[in-house]
């Protein structure tokens, strides 16, 4: 989990000067802010000019929060990525553009939508209630109906899907 912090003043003068920030080492927004300030202060000292603006030019195994991310969003995404795979957090952010309701909306990771539909039915109904009917249920159609309204799925790199609720 890394992001490339780039000096905006140098970039505007056609100098590509950046430094990778390892988010596993800088977890809080204060630590991230300190890293950025030290990076820019070093260049200010070298050039005797004020370097105070920055932007992100690249993300490595992390949520793409755009060029000018909020430090709170970086911190939140980092913390969520400690508990869940960064691809899951990235899929959520690409759909909702926020993290506030992630815990409420996150359902889980499944092989496919039919697998989710089958597991949902197993959670709702006992094996007695399902009985031999489960053999006759078209799980693909049931899954399609679930994803028309209440649920949203996104493919992950490992060929599985992550599912979120739409409320």
Mean pLDDT, to the nearest integer, of 126-146? 79
Please check whether residue 29 is in contact with residue 72, taking contact to mean a CB–CB distance below 8 angstroms. Answer: yes
Given pLDDT bands bounded at 50, 70 and 90, which one contains residue 13? very high
Given pLDDT bands bounded at 50, 70 and 90, which one contains residue 6? very high
Domain locations in the chain as residue ranges: 1-83, 105-167
Tell me what pLDDT residue 5 has. 95
Q: Could you give the CA distance from residue 90 to residue 109 in angstroms, rounded to a whole number?
A: 14
Q: Could you give the CA distance from residue 67 to residue 120 in angstroms, rounded to a whole number?
A: 39
pLDDT at 125 over 80: no
Please check whether residue 32 is in contact with residue 71, taking contact to mean a CB–CB distance below 8 angstroms. Answer: yes
DSSP H helices in the chain? 8-12, 29-47, 71-83, 86-96, 102-105, 113-124, 127-130, 133-136, 139-149
Tell me what pLDDT residue 166 has. 81
- Please tell me the pTM assigned to this model: 0.81
pLDDT in tens, 28-75: 999 999 999 999 999 999 989 999 999 999 999 999 999 999 999 999
Q: Could you give the CA distance from residue 54 to residue 37 in angstroms, rounded to a whole number?
A: 10
pLDDT in tens, 73-120: 999 999 999 899 899 999 999 988 999 999 999 999 999 999 998 888
Tell me what pLDDT residue 42 has. 92
Tell me what pLDDT residue 33 has. 94
Tell me what pLDDT residue 129 has. 73
Tell me what pLDDT residue 139 has. 84
Backbone angles phi, psi at 79, to 5 degrees: -65, -45
Tell me what pLDDT residue 50 has. 92
């Amino acid at each position: 989990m890394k992001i490339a912090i780039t000096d905006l003043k140098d970039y505007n003068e056609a100098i590509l000067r950046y430094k990778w920030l390892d988010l596993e080492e800088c977890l809080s927004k204060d630590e991230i802010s300190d890293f950025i300030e030290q990076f820019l202060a070093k260049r200010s000292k070298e050039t005797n000019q004020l370097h105070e603006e920055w932007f992100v030019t690249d993300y490595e195994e992390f949520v793409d929060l755009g060029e000018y991310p909020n430090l709170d969003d970086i911190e939140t995404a980092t913390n969520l990525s400690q508990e869940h795979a960064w691809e899951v957090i990235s899929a959520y952010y690409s759909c909702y553009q926020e993290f506030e309701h992630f815990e409420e909306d996150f359902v889980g990771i499944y092989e496919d939508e039919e697998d989710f539909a089958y597991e949902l039915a197993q959670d709702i109904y006992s094996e007695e209630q399902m009985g031999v009917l489960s053999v006759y249920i078209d799980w693909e159609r049931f899954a399609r109906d679930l994803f028309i309204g209440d649920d949203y799925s996104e493919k992950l790199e490992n060929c599985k899907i992550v599912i979120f609720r739409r409320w």
